[in-house]
Amino acid sequence: PCAAPAPTPAIPPIDPDVLRDLERLSRELGGRVDRLLRGLGGAVQELTALSVGCIQTYRDAVDSLGEAVDMSIKGMYTLLARCEELERALQPVQGLARQVRDIRRTLEVLEALC
């Protein structure tokens, strides 16, 4: 007993209207995909430009802050130097203050005697 070959299914004929509809729909879909990709490209470009702007602003702020800190440090050193100069200039005043205290004590002693 030999096996008989299986009957091959019959392929129905292709309807040309279906092919035209399929081609038209695929063109529409392709156009929509193109528009979508163009829109996404534009959005990505806008986001990129916004990101670049933010990074530049951040960089400028950091530069400005660094300059401000440097100026503050220089100002503080200048203030300290001037305070030291003032302290040196006022040293004779301390001696005068001691002399004034001594004179007051002497006057109090003399007033007590009178």
Give me the pLDDT at residue 23, please. Answer: 95
Give me the pLDDT at residue 66, please. Answer: 96
How many residues in the chain? 114
Give me the pLDDT at residue 94, please. Answer: 86
Q: What is the pLDDT of residues 16-39, one digit of tens each?
A: 899 999 999 999 999 999 999 999
Which DSSP letter does residue 60 get? H
Ranges of residues in the chain with a pLDDT under 50 are none
Give me the pLDDT at residue 83, please. Answer: 96
Q: What's the CA gap between 30 and 38, in Å, rounded?
A: 12
Q: What's the CA gap between 103 and 7, in Å, rounded?
A: 138
